Amino acid sequence: MEKLFYSGGGGKVVVVVGGGGGKVVVVVGGGGGKVVVVVGGGGGKVVVVVGGGGGKVVVVVGGGGGKVVVVVGGGGGKVVVVVGGGGGKVVVVVGGGGGKVVVVVGGGGGKVVVVVGGGGSVVVVC
């Protein structure tokens, strides 16, 4: 089990990796932002979160096939990404400019979700 995380500029970073296949977690939280990453086993492979500028980023990957999650939350925005197993492959979320982005990928074949939310509210459920 490999964990790599870096916290700079007064940010808060919480990383929890629960066994069974949580391989690499990279978190960069800077500028007063808050980043929470939870990887629950069974196949959560790579999680990359960059939370800066006072934004809040929450990423939860529950096992069974959540492969790659990339979240960039900046500028005071709030980003929540939940990938529940069974085939959620790639989730990319860029939430900036004070917007709120919520992405939920529930198993069974949700392959690619890309959300860019600037100033508005975006909710994606697959």
- pLDDT tens, residue by residue, 11-65: 777 777 766 556 677 777 767 778 877 777 666 677 777 776 777 888 877 766 6
Per-residue confidence at 83, pLDDT binned at 50, 70, 90? Answer: confident
Q: In total, how many domains does the chain have?
A: 1
What pLDDT sits at residue 42?
61
Give the range of the structural domain holding residue 75, as residue numbers without chain letter: 4-125
What pLDDT sits at residue 1?
46
Q: Write b or e for each residue in 39-75: b if 16 or more Cβ atoms lie within 10 A of its Cβ, otherwise e.
A: bbbbbbbbbbbbbbbbbbbbbbbbbbbbbbbbbbbbb
CA 57 to chain centre: 7
Candidates 102, 111, 108; CA nearest to 82 is 102
Check residues 126 and 115 and name the one with the higher pLDDT.
Answer: 115
Q: Cα–Cα distance between 16 and 37 in angstroms, integer?
A: 6
